[in-house]
Each structure stands twice: as C-alpha cells, then as structure tokens.
Amino acid sequence: MTNRSLDQAAQAAGIALAFTNALGKKEAIRDETKQALLAVMGNPQTQKPGPLPPAVVLRGNQPRCLLVAGSGHFHWQLESEQGKQFSGEVLAGTELPLPKRLAQGYHRLTLTQGKKRWQTQVIIAPRRCYLPAALENGGKRWGALVQLYTLRSANNWGVGDFGDLQQLLQQVGAQGGDFVGLNPLHALYPASPAFASPYSPASRRWLNVLYIDVAQVDDFQHSKAAQRWWQQAKTRRALEQARASEWVDYPAVTALKITALRHAWAQFSQRSAEDEQQQAFALFVQQGGDSLRYQAAYDGLQGELRHGKADFCGWPDWPEAWQHSQTAEVQAWCAAHEDEIAFWQWLQWLAQRQLAHCWHVSQQSGMSVGLYRDLAVGEAAGSSETWHDPELYRLKASVGAPPDRLGPQGQNWGLPPLDPHVMQARAYQPFIDLLRANMRDCGALRIDHVMSLLRLWWIPAGGGADKGAYVSYPVADLLGILALESQRQRCMVIGEDLGTVPREIVSLLRNSGVFSWKVLWFEQNQDGRYRQPEAYPEQSIASASTHDLPTLYGFWQAGDLQLGDKLGLYPGEAVLASLYAERAKQKQALLDALHLAGVMPARSAKQAEKLAMTPQLNLAMHRYLAQTGSALLGLQVEDWLGMTSPVNVPGTVTQYPNWRRKISVPLEAIFDDATVKRLLKAVSQVRGK
C-alpha cells in the first residue's frame, strides 16, 4: 500500500493523520500506527453501503429530508414511534421528504427494491439537553461530591452503601444542598473484589452489588438461617474489623455481603409466584434480557473459574472454550446453573431498587438535581460486556491519551474502544441502551472524558501510548441522541472536559446544553492569575478538585507532592523541585484571588508562604467557589473535614491503595461538626443570592 493510499484508507476509517501535541505543535501519526489500527478495525470500509445509512439523526431545524443513494426506484415505508404509517416512492439520487410534524423520537424507515430491503432508524432529536427549571434564569445550586465506597457509618459493612446514600441525601438537603454527586456505580467483579477501580468496570449498564444495604433486604431479616449466621461471633468480628479498617477491605466486605445475600436469596426463592416482589423481580429479569442474563452468568462463572488465582481473573484468562458467552460450554453451564444466574440477577434487582429509593428520597427532600451519576469512558478488557459482545469492541487496542506535560509517555487506560463503525451499523442502539441505563433514577449524568463523543486516542496492542492515534466518532449523531435521551429521562448532562480539549468539541457541547467542568486548580489565566468567580460560565459545574487531584488541604500543604515523591513518581530531584516551585506560585496566585474576591479578612496574611492551612482559609476557599457564576457547585466531603490523603493517585497501580481510602469521620458525625455546619451555611447563603 502506497503512502497516499494508506492515508486515504486511514482517513476513511476515521483515523486522524496528525494531532496537535501538548506543545501546540502539529505532529504526524506514524505509518505503522495507521496500519496497525486499520488491521484492528478489520477494514471497515469494505462493506457495501446501502441507499441510506443504518441511522439518521436530525436535530432542531435541520431539513427533514434524506438523500437516497444507489440507482433506480425505491418503495419506502415509515413507521413512526407512535405507530403511524407513511409510504411512497422515491428515485435514487433525489431527496425523500419525511412527513411533516414528525415527533421527536425513534422512527423506522424501510426501503425496498424488488426483493432487496434496507432499514434505517430515523432519529428526531432536540437541539439541547434537559435543564431543570431551578437552573433556568440564573438559578444556582450546590451539592456534595462523594465516592460512595468511602463513607463510614455505624450501619454499613465496611463500605459505603445505598443506605448511607439515603442518609447523606437527607443531611445535604437539610443543609441547603441540592444534589449528591457519585463515582461510577458500575458493576465490578465480585469474584475478584480487589479489582476495585470504578473506572474499569465489568459493565456500565449494571450496578456494583456491593452497594446493596443488606439490612434493608426483607429476606435477610426474615431468614432464620441468615439471622443465625448474623449472630455468630465469627461474623460479628469480621464485620467490626471491616468497619474499623482504615481502607476498604474489599475481599472481607465481599465475603460478608455475598454470604448474607445467599441466605436471603434462599428465603426469597421460597416466595410464591404470585408474591408481589417475585412478580417485580420476574419483570426486571424480562426487561433486562440477554444483557442482564449474561452479566449474571459472568459473575457466576468468574467465581467458578477463578480457582484461587490472583486478584483478577477475567475471561481472557479462562480456557478458550469459555471465552465467549455463546459457546456450547457456556450455554451448557447456564442451563445447569439457572439458580446461580437467578441469584446474581436478583442482586442487580436489589441494587436497582435501593438506588431508585435514594432517588425518591432526594425528590422528597426537594432537590432539583438530587443525584448525579458518573459514566466511565469504557469497560475493562476482561469485562462481562466484552465477553458477551466482543464484536462491539476492538480488543486488540486500548484507549488513553497522547504524551503531555503530566504524562511524558502518554497514558494507556487499558480499556478497549467501542468501534464507531459497529455502533453506526447497529443504529446506535448500544449507545442508547447505555444512556438509558445510566440516566435511571438520577437528575444528572456526568460523562467521564466527554471528548470521547468526538474522538478517542487508540493505542494498538503491544505499543506504547505515544504510538497511538485519534479515531473519530460521529459526534453530531451522538450529541443528538444524548439530547433526546436527556430530555426523555429529564436528566441533565455534565461533560468532564478537563485536559486537552479540541476546539471543535467546545462549541458543540455548549450548543447542546452539556455542562462544562471547571476545577479551581485549573482556572488560571496565561499570566498565572486565577480567574475571578464571575468569569466562570453559567453552563458549568465548579469544584475545588476531583478524585484524581489533591484535596484543598493536600494542595496547600503539598501533600500530593510529598506522596508522589514517596511513591517514586518523579524522575529526579530537579523535577520535584520544579513542582514545589510551581506550587508556591499557585498558592500565592490563589491567595491573591481570594483577597481580590473579598472572601479573606482584609488584615489576613498576604503572603502564602506565611499562611498555614486553617479552617478559616478553607472557609474562604469555599466562599470563593460559592461566588462562581457556575450554575452548579460540587463540594468534596474530604474538603469539609480537612483531609489530605487522596482517594486515587494517577500513574499508580499497586504503589498506593487507590479507590480504598475512607472518609475520616463517620457519616453520623459529619453534620454535627460545628466547622462543617458553618462552612455549608456560608455556601448556602452565597449561592442563595
């Protein structure tokens, strides 16, 4: 293949030939990278296109007509989502006008020519995503940001759960807050509990069953066997150890919860078919379909096939005959283990019911947003989703980020990319299903790395992250579907747009009503000064930090730099010294901004190096954030309590116990703390203005 033909093939497949690097310079993609990615994709352009694409998305005032390709005459028939029928004839090369006043939604268009038949999904979408009435006309709201597993309480079993979330919602609402923002609640790996990153899930459509509050499960309370186990001294000791642990002990928590829930399942299974809960569960299973069945089968099989192996044992480590959900061996196992499958389906039902109750509590508390959920950028390579539907993923590649200042070698997140060509061929149904699953029982959805709607950095297997390339996604279509589902589910959308953001996505997100994310540490002008609160755009959520960044106390005390040095993350003393020097400049710039905004006492220190981190300085930072023009403000519980240790240290795997650090104060005591109450009262007063 000549260089020209290689470039043409790459462009046709959506592979960018160059990109703008972290220094702002254009950098060409290597030929070997283009060849490798074309091989990964399996030459997507070889399939002969039909007269219309599998899906057409029309938004706002776009012309309601479709250009028909091919040759000859076609008969067309349109069935609207509401069941109305329309039909006619159309000549290839001309436009097919759609019926006037075709409602927003999903409509099925069929073209026939002799015995040939083609189907297109016509999607009529709104221009913008949903916005709660409370945020219209300059309304401002604040809420708490929490990694749910970090919560301590007198009732949980060593990991924060949906019972804790209910209590947190009530407490935040009582303090004037409007929402609780969560980490991804996606399904993980009960058979490999130490594999705990919420951003490398088994499935983004199903829930992490460890968040079930066992005490709220009726059949646990009514089971004599469960209660005997519950009263055993051994059980009580294990529970107290899990609660008292400084870090979440996932293996211990999982062993306790799964044992308890198996007892409860035995009790539930004795209910009659006419029982109300049995009927609700049966409907849940029916609606969940194959997706739920094979998520449950995966959970059961992983426990059986792990055989005491190391922390993680996904399907790529299984015998070849078990590496796909549709093999004869897997089907035979499923037929012989229907009760095991039903058990894991039941856990998903319990988790969904408890999350729905949390949403109900938020609405009872008068919250306009209530809950916002977090959608990870992908599933892990050894996930249940890639096991059940490998054709949707390019398993010989992973996504990440090109080299930049923070990651000179680039980043490889170990997540296989969704194939945009397969998504289009399936009329975007995988994307639609994903949105519907994650917009349930919440008022907002945060999309991690929202730039993935436009492009993703694909890295061929075996290569470094610096040997990748950007692959484009059908951003206009995806944003249209996002807006449609957002309006239907009454769920606003927040886009995590931190890092290198391509110019073309900024206006697309803004015009689609997707909220931007503004993190205090990054809101600096080119001269190093921090932007004043009024400069924050209304269509955004502001926060001090994120789960990947230091807390307020950690930032001011440079605890993150000390930890990074301890973990060996910096290549030499010179790099560390430059980071400390940069931090000193940031602290001074931030202190100057606090004084300029009038949130610091006039007589307080003007030199950052002479000012220790205190509750007073913490309050000033929160008042500064409360003044921002952002419609939403997310505050981390860690910052209320003056915590310094992070929940995650990017660039580490085993060096630091990521996703395990608990909140330092039990949930029951947080809102009794006078300093916390004073801080939240100040925030509510400022946001109320």
Distance CA 440, CA 489 (A): 7
36 closest CA partner among 392, 316, 398: 398
Q: How far apart are the first and last CA of the chain?
A: 65
Fill in the DSSP letter of residue 467. G
Q: Is 619 helix (H, G, I), strand (E, B) or coil?
A: helix
What 3 state SS string does 214-245 have? HHHCHHHHHCHHHHHHHHCHHHHHHHHHHHHC
* In the block, residue with structure tokens 């953001």: 501
623 and 682 Cβ atoms separated by less than 8 Å? yes
pLDDT for 571:
85
> What is the total residue count of the chain?
689
459 and 396 Cβ atoms separated by less than 8 Å? no
Strand partners, 451: none
Strand partners, 495: 447
227 and 236 Cβ atoms separated by less than 8 Å? no
Distance CA 16, CA 4 (A): 14
DSSP string, 557-611: TTHHHHHHHHTT-SSSHHHHHHHHHHHHHHHHHHHHHHHHHT-S-TTS-S-GGG-
State how far Cα 96 lies from the chain centre.
39
Distance CA 556, CA 540 (A): 25
Distance CA 384, CA 322 (A): 12
- Which contacts qualify for 495-502: CB closer than 8 Å, 24 or more apart? 495/446, 495/447, 495/450, 496/446, 496/447, 496/448, 496/449, 496/450, 497/450, 497/451, 498/522, 498/546, 499/401, 499/404, 500/22, 500/401, 500/402, 500/404, 501/451, 502/20, 502/451, 502/454, 502/455
Strand bridging mode 179-182 / 141-146: parallel
Distance CA 473, CA 424 (A): 10
537 and 602 Cβ atoms separated by less than 8 Å? no
Distance CA 392, CA 431 (A): 11
pLDDT for 125:
97
Fill in the DSSP letter of residue 317. G
Q: Is 551 helix (H, G, I), strand (E, B) or coil?
A: coil
What type of residue is 19?
Answer: F
Distance CA 517, CA 525 (A): 16
pLDDT for 355:
98
Fill in the DSSP letter of residue 646. -
Domains detected in the chain: 1-50+389-428+449-477 (no CATH), 61-125 (2.60.40), 151-352 (3.20.20.80)
Token code pair at residue 363: 């609405």
What stretches in the chain show pLDDT beneath 70?
44-47, 307-312, 405-407, 689
Distance CA 495, CA 515 (A): 6
State how far Cα 554 lies from the chain centre.
25
Distance CA 140, CA 159 (A): 32
Distance CA 85, CA 77 (A): 7
Strand partners, 28: 18
pLDDT for 502:
85
| CA atoms in the 13 A half-sphere facing the CB of 89 | 4
Torsions phi, psi for 629 (to 5 deg): -75, -10
Let me know the angle formed at the C-alpha of 665 by 661 and 669, rounded to the nearest 5 degrees.
Answer: 150
* In the block, residue with structure tokens 């290597």: 30
- The per-residue b/e assignment along 230-254, b for 16 or more CB within 10 angstroms, e otherwise, is beeeeeeebbeebbebeebbbebbb
- Which contacts qualify for 322-326: CB closer than 8 Å, 24 or more apart? 323/387, 324/387, 324/390, 325/294, 325/297, 325/298, 325/387, 325/388
Q: How many helices (H) and strands (E) does the chain have?
A: 22, 23
Q: How many CB atoms lie within 10 A of CB 134?
A: 16
